[in-house]
Structure 1
Amino acid sequence: MTRALLIVDIQLDYFPGGAFPLVEPEAAAAAAGDVLEAFRASGEPVVHVFHVSTGDGATFFRPGTAGLAFHPAVEPRDGELVVEKHVPNSFVGTGLEASLRERGVTDLVIVGMMSSMCVDSTTRAAHELGFTCTVVADACAAPDLVHGGTTVAGRDVHAAFMAALDGSFATVVTSEALLAA
C-alpha cells in the first residue's frame, strides 16, 4: 500500500474576499494544512489539484485572477505534484491517474473544496478507478446552496455529502482521527 494526500482546490476564491466564499473555509484549510504537514513529515506523496475555469461566463477561478492561488496553508513545495483541472472531477482531462499509478499509489487521503462538487466528484471517480479513499471531513468545506426556493446551509450541505460518501465511496474521518492513527 502506498498512500498519497490529494488536496483539491483549496484556492483563494473560496475564502472571504474571494469570488465564491464557502462556509468556514479557514477552519478547513487549517485542518488540511495539519494533514499536509503530517504527510510531508512522513515523506508520503502529496498532490495539489487546482481548478482553472475556462468556460465563458465563469465567475470564479478565472485565468489571470488572484483567486486561482493556493491558500497559504497548503501551498505546494518543490517536488510535490501539481495538477491543473478544468472540470469538477480531478481525473478528467488530467494526467492525475497516470501520475498516481507511476508512484504506486493505491490509497488516497482527500481534503479540499467544495465538498458538494469537486471533492465529491473526485472521490467517487477515485473509488471507481480502484483507489481506496479516505476523506478528511473537517479539511473540506461547502457553500450554502439554494434549491426550489429553499436555502440549504453550507454545514448541512457538507454533512450530507460526507454522509453520502462514507462507507460507499470512502471512509470519512476527522483530521484528529487521521493524525492519531
Structure 2
Amino acid sequence: MDKTALILVDIQNDYFPGGKMPLHETEKAAKNARTILDYFRENNLPLFHIQHIFKDTQAPFFAPDTEGAQIHQSVTPLESETVIQKHFPNSFLHTSLEAELKNLGIEHVIIVGMMSHMCIDATSRAAVDLGFSCTVLEDACTCPDLTFNNKTIKAVDVHAAFMAALGSLYATIKTTDDFLVKTTN
C-alpha cells in the first residue's frame, strides 16, 4: 500500500438530497467512501479530495462559491489533506493531480466518488492512460438515472454498465469491504 493513494472524486453537496443534482443512494456511496477514507487516514496513506467547480456562475450545479459546490460533510477534508479543484470530468485535466501522485511515487490509485458514468469513468481511464494502475470501489460510487431516446435508464443499470466497462480493461472493480479484507489480511 506504500505506493497507493486514494482519490475521492466530487463528493459534494449538490449530489445529495436537497442539492441541485441528487444522485441515486448518495448517502450509501458516501458512507462507503468515508469507510475507505478512515482507513487511509488511520494508516497515514496519501489521499486527495477532488472538487468540481464549474467556471460559469450560472452552472446547473457546482457553481462557484455555492454551498452545493462544497465537499460534503461526510468526507470533509482535514486541514492537512490536499483538495484539488477541477473544471472537467477528468480529475487529471488541467490540475496538479498527476504531478502530485508522481511526486509521491504513487503507482496505484483507489478511486471513489461521483458520478460513475462521468467523472469516475473519465478519471479512471485517464489514470491508466497516465501509467497508474487503478481500483474503483464500486459501492463507494453512484450516479443518476439517465435518459436516451426517450428511455429512462435506471441509475443501478448505468452504474453496472460503467463498472463492467471499466472492469474489462481499465480498473479492478471491488467493493469497499472486499478491498479492506484483502488489504488488512
- Fold similarity call, TM over 0.5: yes
**1:25 to 2:29 alignment:** no
Partner of 1:94: 95
CA offsets 1:1-51 (integer angstroms, 9 cap, x no match): 500000000000000000000000000000000000001111110100000
Q: TM-score, normalised by structure 1?
A: 0.97
- Give the 4+ runs in structure 1 shifted more than 6 A: none
Q: How many residue pairs get matched?
A: 181
Aligned ranges 1:101-140 → 2 under 5 Å? 101-140=102-141
2:50 equivalent to 1:49? yes
Q: Which residue of 1 is the match for residue 156 of structure 2?
A: 155
Match for residue 145 of structure 1?
146
Q: Where does structure 2 lack aligned partners over 5 or more consecutive residues? A: none
Q: Does the 8 A contact of 2:56 with 2:64 survive in 1?
A: no
Residue 100 of structure 2 aligns to a residue whose secondary structure is: helix
Q: Summarize the Cα distance change of 1:56–1:167 in structure 2 as closer, same or farther, 3 Å threshold.
A: same
Question: Matches of 2:57 and 2:179 in 1, distance apart?
Answer: 40
**Alpha-carbon separation, structure 1, partners of 2:17 and 2:57:** 24
TM-score, normalised with respect to structure 2: 0.95
Shift of 1:57: 4.6
Aligned-residue Cα RMSD (Å) equals 1.0
Give me the whole-angstrom Cα distance separating, in 2, the residues matched to 1:58 and 1:78: 28
Residue matched to 1:12: 13
**Letter matched to residue 154 of structure 2:** A
Q: Deviations over 1:34-77 (max 9, x none)?
A: 00000111111010000001147520000121001111121111
Code of the aligned partner of 2:17: P
Write the deviation string for residues 91-145 of structure 1: whole angstroms up to 9, x where unpaired: 0110110011111111000000000100000000000001010000000001100
How high is the sequence identity, in percent, across the aligned residues? 49
| Runs (5+) with no aligned partner, structure 1 | none
